Amino acid sequence: MWELTKSFRFEAAHALPGTTLGEASEEIHGHSFRAEVSIRGMPDPATGMVLDLGLLERSMTDVRKMLDHKLLNKVDALGPPTLENLSRFIWEKVQHAGHVTRVSVHRDSCNESCTYFGPQS
DSSP H helices in 1-121: 23-26, 53-67, 83-94
pLDDT at site 24: 66
Residues annotated in a binding site: 14, 29, 31
Q: Going by C-beta distance under 8 Å and a sequence separation of 6 or more, which residues neighbour residue 67? A: 10, 12, 33, 75, 86
Residues annotated in a binding site for Zn(2+): 14, 29, 31
pLDDT tens-place values along the chain, 121 residues long: 999 999 999 999 999 877 766 666 777 889 999 999 999 999 999 999 999 889 999 999 999 999 999 999 999 999 999 999 999 999 999 999 889 999 999 997 788 999 999 998 6
Query: What is 2-116's CATH number?
Result: 3.30.479.10
